[in-house]
Amino acid sequence: MTVRGIIFDVDGTVVRGSEPLPGAVSGVMTVADRGLQRLFVSNNPTEPPTAYEHRLENAGFAVDATEVLTAGTVTKRYLLEHHNNDSIAVVGEAGLFELLAADGLSVTDIQAYDSKIKSSPDVLVASIDRSFDYNTLSTCLKILADDDVTFLGTDPDIVIPAAEGDIPGSGAIIGAIANVTGRDPVAVLGKPSKIARKMAINRLGLPPENILVVGDRLDTDIALGNKAGMQTVLVETGVTDAADTEDSSIDPDHIIPSLGELEPVLESLE
């Protein structure tokens, strides 16, 4: 296998909050020095690619917004393709609302559908929401009692690495809603979904066998690579370490302590 492109996860792999992780600078520089194509793919649905450009720049990485793909972007693409003319209720934060509304989708905050409103949206999208509470959960129960309402999730990350430590992610919100309503989402977008894989491959413009996926999560980063036929590298700077792979059906091809150890992996694949 000849590596011509790299898919980097962001949080837990390259940075934690606004700080670069150990070895990340040298790992990203190694990729640049080799002239490889790259794409930074994040399951964070709250920030657009331009925000990642600025955040990574502040952490010491020169990244253009065109090199960034987020769960918010993937969710927007899915909604434009399948629900372009539908009314969409969103459990989420301001960044996701702004991203979806920018392309003319009919999005409304979940709180607009209170007990006094008899109509339901066509779609309910659930995502990370740090103001999520009992009233929101009750409203979701009311809305999803209507079987005609499509239930979607932006990404499956239950826990995410943040500057202050690990925090609940979109998967925790989606799981709470699914548990109380008795309904699973018809699709959970972001990594490792089929649409995310397709968008990432198309962005790089390379065959999957020429792409290496580097990330800190088995169920998203490594699963994305495995399902697409890419080589995969697990870094131990985020939420997963080598011990976690022992009881997992998802196996990375390589495990390294940090991005600082990426060069030997690339050399082994030449």
**What stretch(es) of the chain map to CATH 3.40.50.1000?**
5-43+191-269, 78-188
Q: What is the pTM of this model?
A: 0.92
Structure confidence at residue 165 (pLDDT): 79
Structure confidence at residue 117 (pLDDT): 60
Q: How does pLDDT run across 168-181, given as a tens digit for each residue?
A: 999 999 999 999 99
Quote the CA–CA distance of 128 and 90 in Å, as a whole number. 10
* Residue 249: Cβ within 10 Å count: 8
Quote the CA–CA distance of 157 and 159 in Å, as a whole number. 6
Q: Classify 78-188 by CATH class.
A: alpha beta
- Residue stretches of the chain with pLDDT short of 70: 115-118
Q: How does pLDDT run across 75-123, given as a tens digit for each residue?
A: 999 999 999 999 999 999 999 999 999 989 999 999 888 755 667 899 9
Quote the CA–CA distance of 36 and 30 in Å, as a whole number. 9
Q: What is the dihedral sign for C-alpha 70, 76, 77, 82?
A: positive
Q: Which residue from 178, 152, 172 is spatially nearest to 71, judged by alpha carbons?
A: 152
Topology classification of domain 5-43+191-269: Rossmann fold (3.40.50)
